[in-house]
Amino acid sequence: MNAATAKVETHQNEKMQRYYRRHAAIYDLSRWTFLFGRREVIRRLPFEWDEAISVLEIGCGTGYNLETTAKNFPNARLTGLDVSADMIDRAANRLIPFKDRVTLIQKPYQRGGGEWGDGFDVILFSYSLTMINPQWESLLLQAKADLKPGGILAAVDFHDSRFGWFKRHMGRNHVRMDGHLTPVMEQAFSAEVSEVKGAYLGVWDYFVFLGRKEG
């Protein structure tokens, strides 16, 4: 990674740490009202409930999805990565009942990799990719490298809105929603699910994506 790229990534990481220092305490109280599709993307993972799958969530936040995954897949081994210490602290609390099979790591997801051994069966991005700007595409491709052959990239996130005022509002909260994610995912992975759905009578759309790494 060259110095300019490293500087851009450091800036994004610091922005997230500052933002979630203020938002971590109200995250679970507020986000269930608009982060749609999170349970669905986990429910639709193409594995039997008792398989010993390995799952990495990038930007795991307060651990909502890791908890759901741990309950749905009682033999899964789970890793949660997040740049925000405030969010990871809350995840650690929530996941105490599953601590034997959950590992939480406080650090940004970065290019370079090679640190995950044989790779994961599933990598999940839930409402994190739209906040990883501008390096979302390179980290999506890093996730592909960190999956086992045949592994699944699962993602749920904001897609787009026809209302400029709403996109500007989301932009002030560090979210980019320009329909930019699904075309790149569909090119990089063999899509098994790629659906765009309306939220709040069409104020915005969100997407659910499950794609396989071929080979």
Distance of CA 85 to the CA centre of its chain: 16
Smallest separation, CB 151 to ligand SAM (Å): 19
For ligand SAM, the closer of residues 127 and 207 by Cβ is 127
Angle between helix 64-72 and helix 85-94 axes, rounded to 10 deg? 30
Size of site (CB under 6 A) for ligand SAM? 24
- Binds ligand SAM (CB under 6 A): choice among 69, 79, 126, 161: 126
Token digits of residue 34: 């608009």
Token digits of residue 103: 């590992």
Smallest separation, CB 214 to ligand SAM (Å): 26
Does 64 engage in binding with ligand SAM (CB under 6 A)? Answer: yes
Query: Which of 36, 7, 16 is closest to 127 using CA atoms?
Result: 36
For ligand SAM, the closer of residues 150 and 195 by Cβ is 195
- 3-class secondary structure, 104: strand
CB-based contacts of 105: which residues, under 8 Å, 6+ apart? 79, 80, 81, 82, 88
Q: Which helix (H) or strand (E) holds 197?
A: strand 190-199
For ligand SAM, the closer of residues 53 and 155 by Cβ is 155
- Binds ligand SAM (CB under 6 A): choice among 36, 37, 61, 152: 61
> Which residues of this protein are in contact with ligand SAM, per CB under 6 A?
13, 16, 20, 31, 35, 38, 58-61, 64-65, 81-84, 87, 108-109, 126-128, 131-132
